[in-house]
């Protein structure tokens, strides 16, 4: 005697011990909406991304362009993904041997700290646009970035918020 998993003919599992196991015990009726899942499934989609997702570009890549990332590195970042790029960038920035390579050809790449500084400054400008006092912004920067900034330096960065409005 054999057990069928769907309406298609074929043996899913032979009866080994006579009574079945778990939900497949003999004598219990199948659930009213259960079973037949193999015939009701959608065909597999093995594409890496849906077509609509391929057209959308991660807006964080625009930030990399704004800070002056060379086009060659920008293409690398877009190929491997933004988060993976940040890891690669951080790793390259930390390795001293890559900086002093004795003439190997590689596109220039600013240190990862330039990106962190850019994000910090955007954060300060955003807080200033919401009317947060400079002293509080200093505390927020310390809590978020673990960086102590002078009151006047934060003020200069925050002033950009009023200039750009």
pLDDT digits (tens, 9 = 90+) for 56-108: 888 899 999 998 888 989 999 999 999 999 999 888 888 766 666 555 556 67
* Residue 109 pLDDT grade (very low, low, confident, very high; cuts 50, 70, 90): confident
Residue that wins the pLDDT comparison between 152 and 3: 152
Contact yes or no for 15/3 (Cβ under 8 A): yes
Q: How far apart are CA 126 and CA 6, in angstroms?
A: 58
Q: Model-level pTM greater than 0.95?
A: no
- What value does the CA radius of gyration of the chain take, rounded to a whole number of Å? 29
Strands, DSSP E only, in 83-131? none
Instruction: Tell me the average pLDDT across 128-132.
Output: 92
Q: Closest by alpha carbon to 135, among 114, 158, 111?
A: 158
Instruction: Tell me the average pLDDT across 114-127.
Output: 93
pLDDT given for residue 43 in this prediction: 62
Q: Is the pLDDT of residue 117 over 70?
A: yes
Contact yes or no for 4/10 (Cβ under 8 A): yes
Pick from 29-38, 47-56, 92-101, 136-145 the range whose average pLDDT is largest: 136-145
Cβ atoms within 10 Å of 89's Cβ, excluding its own: 21
Residue that wins the pLDDT comparison between 138 and 32: 138
Q: Closest by alpha carbon to 74, among 48, 117, 108?
A: 108
pLDDT given for residue 150 in this prediction: 93
Q: How far apart are CA 92 and CA 72, in angstroms?
A: 15
The rounded mean pLDDT for the chain is 77
Q: What is the dihedral of CA 63, 64, 66, 72, to 10 degrees?
A: -150
pLDDT given for residue 112 in this prediction: 86
pLDDT given for residue 56 in this prediction: 80
Write the CA distances from 40 to 13, 32, 139, integer angstroms.
Answer: 20, 15, 57
């Amino acid at each position: 005697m054999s057990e069928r998993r769907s309406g298609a003919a074929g043996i899913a599992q032979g009866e080994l011990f006579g009574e079945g196991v778990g939900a497949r015990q003999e004598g219990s009726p199948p659930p009213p909406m259960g079973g037949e899942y193999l015939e009701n499934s959608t065909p597999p989609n093995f594409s890496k991304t849906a077509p609509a997702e391929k057209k959308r570009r991660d807006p964080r890549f625009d930030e990399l362009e704004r800070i002056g990332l060379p086009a060659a590195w920008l293409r690398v970042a877009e190929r491997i993904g933004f988060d993976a790029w940040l890891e690669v960038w951080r790793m390259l920035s930390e390795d001293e041997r890559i900086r002093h390579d004795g003439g190997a050809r590689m596109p220039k790449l600013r240190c990862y700290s330039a990106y962190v500084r850019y994000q910090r400054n955007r954060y300060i400008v955003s807080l200033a646009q919401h009317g947060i006092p400079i002293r509080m912004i200093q505390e927020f920067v310390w809590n978020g970035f673990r960086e102590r900034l002078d009151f006047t330096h934060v003020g200069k960065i925050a002033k950009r918020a009023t200039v750009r409005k």
